[in-house]
Amino acid sequence: MADPVTSKVLIHLATLAADEEGRKNLVILFSIPLVLVLIILMLFAYILASPLSLLAGFFTNQNEMAALQAFRAEHGDKIRLQTGAIILNGKYPMPAVGEITSPYGKRIHPVTGKRSFHTGIDIAGEWHGEIKSIADGQVVKVSIDEIYGNSILIKHDYPDETFYSFYAHLSKVFALPDQEIFTGDIIGLEGGDPELDPNPGSSTGHHLHFEIRTSRLALSHTDPVAYLYAPSKNEEEE
């Protein structure tokens, strides 16, 4: 049997629920905290998902801004639940040793702070680490531009599939247009550090931006996770 206080509350609620007016009051009574909790959750989601440049307007104090950045770094993954862990399920080796720090898909651009579509994956490894071709193929293009810095596009023509791989923010390029390439060939060195590297492109720090394309066109980008496999521990230590 419940204690007297609980019983009293239950009896009171039952009386309230008995007539039409009482039921209305009861609904309002329970709605208020529910709405408050929802507002708090939405505010939390808004802070996590908003571009930093937008939120900066609310935080004029440098310490507050730093605290916000730390908060987002710690909790940012909660708002991207649909992304989950990146599972590589392809048959080609990774182009560089390092961690995938930014997946393919929608994201907040680290430079512009705006919502954008990330057309490849970012791999953060050793500065000036070796970048290797993920498959046999032929170099289509070696280019320099403001977005990707020094980049290489390679065509892979296999009997079962044809695709292109794209490597950007390179500090050094060891490939020539039309050159034949084999899996694992070192085609360049990682770069993209805006302070230290030549032609970093649009980049906040050194990393490899890697894309898979189904045609020569940049628009034909597709998720690289379907093409790459995760390196074994031994391969990573090499």
Per CB under 5 A, residues contacting Zn ion are 122, 209
**Segment 173-178 long-range contacts (CB within 8 Å, at least 24 positions apart):** 173/142, 175/139, 175/142, 176/139, 176/142, 177/139, 177/140, 177/141, 177/142, 178/138, 178/139
d(CA 121, CA 148): 13
The least distance separating Zn ion from the CB of residue 123, rounded to whole angstroms, comes to: 9
Q: Which residue is nearest to Zn ion (CB)?
A: 209
Q: Looking at beta carbons only, is 209 or 213 nearer to Zn ion? A: 209
CB of 58 to Zn ion, least distance (A): 28
Decide whether 72 or 209 has the Cβ nearer to Zn ion: 209
Beta bridge partners of 228: 92
Dihedral over alpha carbons 100, 234, 93, 73 (to 10 degrees) = 0
Nearer to Zn ion by Cβ, of 31 and 112: the residue is 112
**Cβ distance to Zn ion smaller for residue 122 or 190:** 122
Q: How far is the CB of 104 from Zn ion (least distance, A)?
A: 9
Least distance (Å) between residue 59 CB and Zn ion: 27
Least separation in angstroms between residue 48's CB and Zn ion is: 21
Give the whole-angstrom CA distance, residue 98 versus residue 100: 7
Nearer to Zn ion, 179 or 199 (CB): 199
Q: Which helix (H) or strand (E) holds 220?
A: none
